Amino acid sequence: MNGWSQVFHIARSELVMLSRAREVYGILFLLPVVLIILLGLSLQEKFGAPTANVYPVQLVVVNANDADTSGIGRAVSELLAAEEERGRLVVRQASSRDTAVELILGGEAQYGLVIPKYTLLDASVAPAADGGRARVWELLPGERQAVNKAAEAVLLPYVEELSWQQAGRHAIGPKYDPAWTTIVSLPLPQSVPANGASSYTAMQYYAAAMLVMFMLYTGMMLSASLQEQRVSKTMARLLTHPVTWRAALGGKVLAYALLALLQAAAVIGFTYVACGVSWGDRLEWVAAACGLYALITVSLAVVLTAVCRTEQLSSTVFQMVIIASTLVSGGFIPTLPAAIASLGEYTFSFWTMQSLLHLMLGNAELAGEAMTISAMWAVAAAVTAIFVHRKAGFDA
Q: In sequence order, what are the beta bridge partners of 139?
A: 113
User: Which residues make up the CATH 3.40.190 domain(s) of the chain?
Assistant: 52-172
What pLDDT does residue 173 have?
Answer: 55
Distance from C-alpha of 142 to C-alpha of 98, rounded to nearest angstrom: 14
Residues recorded for the chain:
396
Under-50 pLDDT residues of the chain: 49-52, 120-134, 176-198, 392-396
What pLDDT does residue 368 have?
Answer: 92
Instruction: Mark 62-98 as b/e (b = at least 16 C-beta within 10 Å).
Output: bbebeeeebbbbbbbbeebeebeeeebbbbeebeebe
Q: In sequence order, what are the beta bridge partners of 140?
A: 112
Of the candidates 31, 12, 2, which has an alpha carbon nearest to the alpha carbon of residue 216?
31
What pLDDT does residue 307 have?
Answer: 87
What pLDDT does residue 179 have?
Answer: 43
What pLDDT does residue 240 have?
Answer: 64
First CA to last CA distance, the chain: 25
- In degrees, rounded to 5, the angle at the alpha carbon of residue 353 between the alpha carbons of residues 382 and 206 is 135
- Contact assessment for residue 64 and residue 96, using Cβ atoms and an 8 Å cutoff: no
Of the candidates 325, 267, 263, which has an alpha carbon nearest to the alpha carbon of residue 36?
267
- Contact assessment for residue 229 and residue 237, using Cβ atoms and an 8 Å cutoff: no
What pLDDT does residue 198 have?
Answer: 43
Helix (H/G/I), strand (E/B), else coil: 120: coil
* CATH classification number, 52-172, choose in 3.30.2420, 3.40.190, 3.40.50, 1.10.150: 3.40.190
